[in-house]
Structure 1
Amino acid sequence: MGTPRDGRRERLVALLVLGIGAVLLLSSPTWFGSGRTAVGVGQLVLAVALLGSGALLLRRSRAG
């Protein structure tokens, strides 16, 4: 008795998550260049997690 799935909304959320992950990934060298390596590593880890989550969400939205 769940709510019906909205594939378009799921795709938009997946693309948003992928976009945020891409921005974090592409901007992480800034932290390494300024000597804040710990922040850069944390941003890279978060970017990879968001990109993985976004890819799974996108695949799920296309499957349903």
Structure 2
Amino acid sequence: MGTPRDARRERLVALLVLGVGAVLLVSSPTWFGSGRAGVGAGQLVLAAALLGAGAMLLRRSRAR
């Protein structure tokens, strides 16, 4: 059974995840500029994962 999907809530969560991923992506050059390339690379990897997950969630919320 379960509860019915709330497409609006799913879309908002997807947009939040996409927003966090975008902020991480845009702010990562700061780490490279300060000589902490390892942190910058990790932030890029995390940003890519969040952007991918957000896109998947957004597509799923629009499936109905």
Normalising TM by the smaller chain, what interval?
A: over 0.9
Q: What TM-score, normalized to structure 1?
A: 0.99
Q: State the Cα RMSD in Å.
A: 0.4
**Cα shift at 1:2:** 1.4
> In 1, Cα distance between the equivalents of 2:51 and 2:19?
8
Q: 1:46 maps to which residue?
A: 46
TM-score normalised by L of structure 2: 0.99
Q: How many residues align?
A: 64
Q: Equivalents in 1 of 2:5, 2:53: separation in Å?
A: 18
Q: Which runs of 5+ in 1 are unaligned?
A: none
Query: Which amino acid is the alignment partner of residue 33 of structure 2?
Result: G
- In the alignment, residue 45 of structure 1 is paired with which amino acid? V
Instruction: Determine the C-alpha separation between the residues in 1 that align with 2:27 and 2:2.
Output: 39
- Whole-Å separation in 2 of the counterparts to 1:2 and 1:60: 18
